């Protein structure tokens, strides 16, 4: 799984459509640049050995998530990502906010990452929330599978799949401490 995440993640972000800047929140093009650099950095790191995973304390990760209708399509939507791993209880949770489409149009709403379980150097979590797409509130329902990478679990990479309303979406997430 870890190799697949890195390869898909890199290809996914590098294929993103360019967007224009604007607004006080991060623009699509800013998030695209940050996401591409972050994924390239994280994919160059090995999975954190299970024996080197923290067993106490917590860590907060921030990064970018990108979404498309399939792994063969260009990224159409980006968001900022925040995750908190609690290593003592082997849980992970967070949120996705500041959604922007490739035309740099803000997409109101947020997605909660919850019910996450850390097992060894991998994790899984559920995603639920609501995004306003074309003026209509659309329920978000999905899941994420990921892995910790680098020394002392310094980064996370993950694959996301689910639905926004009736539209199937896939995504990748990269974040670091």
Residue-level length of the chain: 177
pLDDT band at 33 (very low <50, low <70, confident <90, very high): very high
Domain boundaries, the chain: 2-176
User: How many helical (H) and strand (E) elements, i.e. helices and strands, does the chain have?
Assistant: 2, 9
d(CA 81, CA 113): 10
CB-side neighbour CA atoms (13 Å) of 35: 31
Residue 24 confidence (pLDDT): 56
Q: Please compute the mean of the pLDDT values over residues 159-172 and round it to a whole number.
A: 95
Structural fold of domain 2-176? Porin (2.40.160)
Which range among 10-19, 75-84, 118-127, 151-160 shows the weakest confidence by mean pLDDT?
A: 10-19
Helix, strand or coil for residue 120?
coil
> How far apart are the C-alpha atoms of 115 and 9, rounded to whole Å?
23
Average pLDDT, the chain: 89
Model confidence over 133-154: pLDDT tens digits? 889 999 999 999 999 999 999 9
Model-level pTM? 0.87
Question: 117 pLDDT exceeds 60?
Answer: yes
For the chain, how far is it from start to end, CA to CA, in angstroms?
A: 22
Between 20 and 80, where is the model more confident?
A: 80
Cβ atoms of 1 and 74 within 8 Å: the answer is no
Task: State the average pLDDT over residues 5-28.
Answer: 52
| 49-100 per-position pLDDT tens digit | 999 999 999 999 999 999 999 888 889 999 999 999 999 999 999 999 999 9
Q: How far is CA 73 from CA 80, 86, 95, 142, 177, in A?
A: 20, 34, 24, 19, 29
């Amino acid at each position: 799984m870890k190799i697949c995440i890195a390869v898909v993640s890199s290809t996914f972000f590098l294929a993103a459509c360019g967007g224009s800047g604007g607004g006080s929140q991060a623009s699509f093009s800013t998030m695209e640049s940050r996401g591409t650099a972050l994924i390239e950095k994280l994919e160059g790191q090995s999975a954190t050995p299970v024996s080197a995973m923290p067993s106490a304390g917590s860590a907060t990760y921030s990064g970018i998530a990108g979404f498309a209708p399939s792994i063969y399509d260009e990224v159409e939507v980006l968001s900022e990502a925040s995750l908190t791993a609690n290593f003592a209880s082997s849980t992970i949770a967070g949120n996705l906010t500041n959604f922007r489409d490739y035309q740099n149009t803000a997409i109101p709403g947020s997605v909660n990452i919850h019910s996450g379980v850390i097992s060894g150097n991998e994790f899984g979590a559920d995603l639920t929330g609501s995004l306003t797409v074309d003026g209509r509130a659309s329920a978000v329902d999905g899941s994420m599978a990921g892995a910790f990478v680098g020394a002392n679990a310094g980064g996370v990479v993950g694959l996301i799949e689910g639905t926004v309303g009736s539209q199937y979406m896939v995504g990748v997430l990269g974040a670091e401490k």
